[in-house]
Amino acid sequence: MNKSLKLSSWLLLSLCLVGCKSTITNLTPSQQPRNATGMYPIEVAWDTSQQTVRPASLKPCVVVDTEFYPMRQNLGMTNRWGTVIPVPSGKNTVFYHFRFDYEQNAFGKPTKDSKLSPKFRLDISEK
């Protein structure tokens, strides 16, 4: 492969990667007061400039330890989801992260992909 073709391929790949940014934003307060139900709301926003993502295929969830909690899209919002997670009465701290599974357009059939957030901490305080 000649040098100019290699350089052109590198530049094209770089341009594709620069234009495809996804951001996962945790909208959940880091501390919530303990409640009688033991269920706590978790919310997230996901924004992407990746035009190959098939929006109808998005399946976001919250992952706590080995448990997956599916999220529902917030009414009237295209980029926000929420759910509730259980926190046992004897537990004061929960670590969680978000996972977005989706399909993206590709040559031929769509391919599956996912994005993971960093871990977040939820502290449950006594009233």
Instruction: Look over the chain and give the mean of its residue pLDDT values, rounded to a whole number.
Output: 87
Q: What's the CA gap between 25 and 29, in Å, rounded?
A: 12
Query: Which residues neighbour 107 within 8 Å (Cβ) at sequence distance 6 or greater?
Result: none
Q: What's the CA gap between 79 and 95, in Å, rounded?
A: 23
Identify the architecture of domain 22-125 in CATH: Sandwich (2.60)
Pairing relation of β-strands 120-125 and 31-33?
parallel
Q: Name the residue ranges covered by the structural domains of the chain.
A: 22-125
* pLDDT tens readout for residues 65-80: 999 999 999 999 989 9
Torsion of CA 26, 27, 28, 30, to 10 degrees: 70
**How much is the pLDDT for 22?**
85
What integer is the mean pLDDT of 80-99?
Answer: 96
pTM: 0.81
Could you tell me the pLDDT band of residue 31, with boundaries at 50, 70 and 90?
very high
pLDDT of 123 higher than 90:
yes
